[in-house]
């Protein structure tokens, strides 16, 4: 019986030491600080300002390198360079176009991923496209900044009743 107790005691000591060495018995890890929501608001403002200046380069700078933009026409631009090219054409075809946008819903999926729904209204549009619609975006927090990863604009078939 003493041999059995000594074996159990020895095994328990080994397990406790292993747990301590592997970090199970150590101090808890500090969680990474949540990204600054004010930075997200500044990025939203920068996006609107770039659009209203008709500055395709500044508009695209708010997008991640691997971002995707789907225009309400269904045209897809993948990557920051393609998004910049698409908006350079939109701005060239619609000199002075302006946007007013508003967030209708914001949901933090994780502290670093935000799903945003909103509405937009365009003025000064000359290409015959819709003047108002809705959008859904996915923001990601990478390397200390908020970037758009996905942006989908769409026009409802029927406007919702107030």
Question: What domains lie within the chain, and their CATH numbers?
Answer: 37-154 (3.10.450.50)
pLDDT of 126 above 60: yes
Q: Find tokens 């991923």 and name the residue.
A: 113
pLDDT in tens, 50-79: 999 999 999 999 999 999 999 988 999 999
119: CB partners within 8 A, 6+ apart: 101, 102, 104, 132, 133, 134, 135
Query: What is the C-alpha to C-alpha distance for residues 133 and 86, in angstroms, rounded to an integer?
Result: 18
Which has more confidence, 103 or 33? Answer: 103
For residue 65, CA distances in Å to 85, 144, 150 come to 14, 15, 11
- Predicted pLDDT at 34: 63
CA torsion 97-115-79-147 (nearest 10°) is: 80
Please report, rounded to a whole number, the percentage of residues in the chain having pLDDT higher than 70. Answer: 75
- Reported as type and span, the H/E element at residue 158 is none
For residue 151, CA distances in Å to 51, 95, 112 come to 14, 22, 17
Q: How far apart are the first and last CA of the chain?
A: 81
Q: Is the pTM value of this prediction over 0.85?
A: no
CB atoms within 10 A of CB 162: 3
pLDDT band at 109 (very low <50, low <70, confident <90, very high): very high
pLDDT of 23 above 50: no
């Amino acid at each position: 019986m003493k041999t059995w107790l000594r074996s159990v005691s020895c095994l328990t000591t080994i397990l406790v030491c292993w747990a301590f060495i592997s970090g199970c018995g150590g101090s808890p890890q500090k969680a990474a600080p949540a990204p600054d929501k004010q930075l997200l608001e500044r990025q939203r403002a920068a996006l609107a300002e770039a659009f209203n200046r008709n500055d395709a380069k500044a508009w695209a700078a708010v997008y991640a390198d691997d971002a995707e933009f789907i225009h309400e026409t269904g045209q897809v631009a993948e990557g920051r360079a393609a998004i910049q090219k698409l908006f350079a054409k939109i701005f060239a075809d619609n000199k002075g176009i302006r946007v007013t946008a508003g967030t209708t819903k914001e949901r933090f999926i994780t502290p670093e991923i935000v799903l945003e729904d909103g509405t937009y209204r365009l003025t000064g549009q000359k290409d015959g496209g819709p003047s108002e619609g809705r959008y859904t975006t996915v923001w990601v927090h990478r390397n200390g900044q908020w970037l758009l990863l996905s942006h989908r604009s769409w026009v409802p078939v029927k406007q919702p009743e107030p």
